[in-house]
Each structure stands twice: as structure tokens, then as C-alpha cells.
Amino acid sequence: MKKNIIITALLILSSLATFAQVKWNADPAHTSIIFSVNHLGISYVHGNFTKFNGTVETKDSTNFQQAKLDFTVDVNSINTDVADRDKHLKSDDFFNAAQYPAMTLKSVSFTKKPNGKYVLVADLTIRDITKRVNFDVDYHGLLKKDPWGLTRAGFTAKATINRLDFGVKYADKLPSGAYAVAPKVEIIVNTEIVKAN
């Protein structure tokens, strides 16, 4: 009887350990959400979003396989270093920030590849349109104790989307047929995530 109780207790503890999650937060001072898009067929415009919130959950402090990611981006924080352009990007031609003030990214899977990199499959929502997007992710390493006593890890995620798929509809073309602003948008997210206490 006593043996059965011990076994049951061990099974319960094992179950709790299985479902335990380690929580991480994206460090806003060391995270950047960057986009790049071709302009007039001859050059590129780059921009970023300065306000966002990102959380990650992992099974433990060193294993990122099947991590769960949840990011929310404030569309009104878009910044291309040109005020008039930022205003246009917030309009209905592009993001319609008044009606759709947030973009979200929620992971579906986060899988480690044989080369040590990861593939993130996530649902990206822009203008209330959700599409599944694949990100190639470089893992830059784990720092168990930084100068402030915190545990942090670094990643870079890259993907390319077609903005027209998300209702970002501006589609003016030059007489040559080239888009003034290309549909294809490259996304780069550099982030340091910090283990929550």
C-alpha cells in the first residue's frame, strides 16, 4: 500500500514537471522588429515598430524546442524616419492603424533543425486577416547569467510575406508596370528574451 502511494506521488510530480513552463519576456531595449520593401523597383525602404510586447514559454530554461511565442505590435509605432511616410503607412492605403491598431504573431510550432537552427510556423494577423507564415530562426545562444544576474537567449527570425494577402492594399504602379511599393515585404526580428523571475 505504501509503495503504491509513493508511486502515485512520483507520477503526480512527474506530470507536474511535464506541464511546467518557463516564461520569458522580449527585452524591448534589445529587440527590433524591422521590415524592408522595394521602392519604385530600384531601392529599398526600411522601417521598424518601436512598441511591442512579446512572451515566450518553454519546457525548461535551456530547451527551446516547441517554444510558444506570442507577440503583439503597436501599428501606430511604425517608424521609417519620415513623418509624412509614416502617416501614409498608418492610413487605409496600408495598415489602417485607426481601425486595426495591433498586429499579432502566435506560434503554431517551433522546431529545431539538424543544423541547430529553428523553423517557426506562426499565425500572423494584420488588419484582422490571419495567414500562416514560416520564419527561419537563428539561435545565437543562451546566457545563464548576464551582468544583471538575468538569464537571456538571443534569436533572429526572418520571413517574407506578400502584404496584399493581408489587405495592405496600396498598389500604385509606374508606367513600366513596376509597383511604387512592392507587395513583397521582408521581416527581420532580432530579439533577446529574458527569463521571468
Q: How confident is the model at residue 168 (pLDDT cuts 50, 70, 90)?
A: very high
In the prediction, which pLDDT does 25 show? 98
- 16 φ, ψ (degrees, to nearest 5): -65, -40
User: What CATH number did the domain enclosing 113 receive?
Assistant: 2.40.128.110
CB-based burial label for 163 (10 Å; 0-12, 13-18, 19+) = buried
Is 2 within the bounds of a domain? no
Burial (CB count within 10 angstroms: exposed 0-12, middle 13-18, buried 19+), residue 95: buried
Q: How far apart are CA 110 and CA 134, in angstroms?
A: 10
The three cell numbers locating residue 74: 503597436
On whether residue 13 sits in a domain, the answer given is no
Higher per-residue pLDDT: 14 or 154: 154
The model's pTM is 0.87
**Is residue 6 in a domain?**
no
pLDDT by residue (tens digit) across 35-91? 999 999 999 999 999 999 999 999 999 999 999 999 999 999 999 999 999 999 999
Q: Which domain holds residue 82?
A: 21-195
C-alpha cell at 4: 503504491
Q: Is residue 171 assigned to a domain? A: yes
- Is residue 39 in a domain? yes
79-135 confidence digits (pLDDT tens): 999 999 999 999 999 999 999 999 999 999 999 998 889 999 999 999 999 999 999
Q: How many distinct structural domains can be found in the chain?
A: 1
Q: What does the pLDDT look like over 17-30, one tens digit per residue? A: 444 599 999 999 99
Cell numbers at 7, concatenated: 508511486
pLDDT score, position 116? 84
What pLDDT, on a 0 to 100 scale, did the predictor assign at position 3?
53
Q: What is the pLDDT of residue 20?
A: 57
Describe the chain by its helix, strand, coil percentages, rounded to 5. 20, 50, 30
User: Does position 31 have pLDDT exceeding 90, yes or no?
Assistant: yes
Mean pLDDT for the chain overall: 92
Q: Which pLDDT value is given to residue 30?
A: 97
Nearest to 142 by CA among 129, 152, 128, 127: 152
In a domain, 16, yes or no: no
